[in-house]
Structure 1
């Protein structure tokens, strides 16, 4: 359906925040230019703009008009409008009116924001049932949410550019505020609303994982602790949390490794051992898969002075 669709590898400005935000400004385009480009693309079957990435994307239009395409939906965006694309969801944009455009693109890996304290809330954004683009109706219909989210995105952009003391706290709090606005204004119930009792039942397993990341974690052992069969446990975990138990364990191991890399001077081999990964090559592979950089690059980047 999306020929020549490109898998975009997002390079984070701050791997610990797992995000990238930047502004795109285009030069003035005439009506003739737009029509010519559209005709050329149609004749050549040129769909090179279609792409996807693991990160969720927010698109805020500051000036001009563009049309965003995702799934079978197209959204016309003017000044102050926002579009949301889910993780790995194919999408593209096209300028649809003459003039210039300015837009802020904000990409973020929400998996990095899963922790014990936010598990009940974050599981709603797991996209188990449908992509997050199903929430675009909120930005279209709720002016207050749209304007507040636009303000938060602009503040995140400013914080990332300034790099002032504590900018990480400022950015992460605004990200959670954006998600909270979506969660509390999803009147059509498009998010994943699995019974929270499932999370409650699995909480001992989550706690056990958190406290035993330095060792081997066996599904058989943990399911036994919860008096659940192996099969029932892995199915229940995926349904409640939105990711497989194996993926969850890998995520928690790598997040702990990130913390150790930034807060200690121990060797990378020792970090790997501390998070229960004895094979250093395997550790590098998993770390790079989640961060698009090696553990050493991650440590060096985050220790570089800002400003």
Structure 2
């Protein structure tokens, strides 16, 4: 079973665009995460987009934001084909464009901490000019024309700040957002290490050592970054990985508990039920009945 982490080439390809046709490409999109932000616009069909354990039914003409480091997957809500467009980009490459505006990384982190809306209706997507922006970005990627990177960035900035304006209109106090997010304390990078060691008995003290930080300092910074303790994060990632086994393999619970780092099968079942409200067996059966 491969890691949930999907590596992105930020140095050479800080922006990626694509059109995804479920009739021609491998589908469903299994649970995964990456450091890039990702925007999804549904052209045809109905997609069940799960982000950090919450499912959003995204229909034709609608748009959803997937924050950096958010575990997400995409399935069909009705078993029918889906056509959707995607934009992936490294927020760290979108620096402040003015002295007053926060960086894109800071805005996303702040909006996520305030639980701002990430799923936009077809009318809202039309107001944001999503169809035009997505198709223009895909076209720019396909053709290596003069100024391509500048146009791509301009279109993505246009969409991002359209979204930010909607967030502000719905109550986000943008003045509370820090202007810069350069100081990440090594916490974002450590997530890749955690994901690669989920099947091991990893300790928070060892992870703190990887960041060259004291246990207490690491704990504070980790909670600031992810909104939860490192121990909670590890369990959450193990549950996501367990879901992948339950959905896409026929392995028994003992095997899955071993592969996802739980001390034993009973611990796995208790943790899964606490996180999902169902036992692993109930979860597997419910997804098979629904065709998800």
TM-score by structure 2 length? Answer: 0.53
Tell me the equivalent position of 1:24: 20
Contact 1:49 1:92 in 2 (8 A): yes
Query: Could you list the per-position Cα deviations for residues 185-233 of structure 1 after superposition, in whole angstroms to 9, with x for gaps in the alignment?
Result: 11233475426xxxxxxxxxxxxxxxxxxxxxxxxxxxxxxxxxxxxxx
In structure 2, the partner of 1:125 is 107
CA distance in 1, matches of 2:36, 2:173: 17
- Does residue 95 (structure 1) correspond to residue 81 (structure 2)? The answer is no
Do the aligned residues in 2 keep the contact of 1:23 with 1:105 (CA within 8 Å)? yes
Distance apart, 1:49 and its partner CA? 1.6
Runs of 4 or more off by more than 6 Å in structure 1?
none
Residue 135 of structure 1 pairs with residue 131 of structure 2: no
Aligned to 1:253: none
Asked whether the equivalents of residues 138 and 145 of structure 1 are also in contact (C-alpha less than 8 Å), the reply is no
Given candidates 39, 47, 50, the residue that maps to 1:66 is: 47
Deviation at 1:142, TM superposition (A): 2.3
CA distance in 2, matches of 1:161, 1:191: 38
Mean alpha-carbon deviation: is it higher for 98-107 or for 134-143? 134-143
Q: Hey, what does 1:49 align to over in structure 2? A: 30
Question: Is 1:144 the equivalent of 2:126?
Answer: yes
Distance of aligned partners of 1:101 and 1:140 in 2 relative to their CA distance in 1, 3 Å threshold: closer
Q: 1:78 to 1:6 in 2, by over 3 A?
A: same
Distance 1:243 1:179, change over 3 A: same
What SS does the corresponding residue of 1:103 show, helix, strand or coil? strand
Q: Please tell me whether Structure 1 or Structure 2 has the larger radius of gyration of its CA atoms.
A: 1
Q: Per the alignment, do residues 109 and 133 of structure 1 end up closer, same or farther by CA in structure 2, a change over 3 Å counting?
A: farther
- SS of the aligned residue for 2:145 comes to coil
Superposed displacement of residue 161, structure 1: 0.5
Structure with bigger helix share is: 1
Matched with 2:88 is 107
Taking structure 1 as the reference length, the TM-score comes to 0.51
Task: Give, in angstroms, the shift of residue 130 of structure 1.
Answer: 2.1
1:248-259 equivalent positions in 2, closer than 5 A: none
Please show how residues 205-220 of structure 1 align to structure 2 within 5 Å.
Answer: none
CA contact (8 A) 2:137 2:155 kept: yes
Cα 1:90–1:140 change in 2 (3 A) is farther
Q: RMSD in angstroms over aligned alpha carbons?
A: 3.4
Are 2:96 and 2:102, in contact at CA under 8 Å, matched by a contact in 1? no
Of the candidates 4, 9, 13, which is equivalent to residue 6 of structure 1?
4
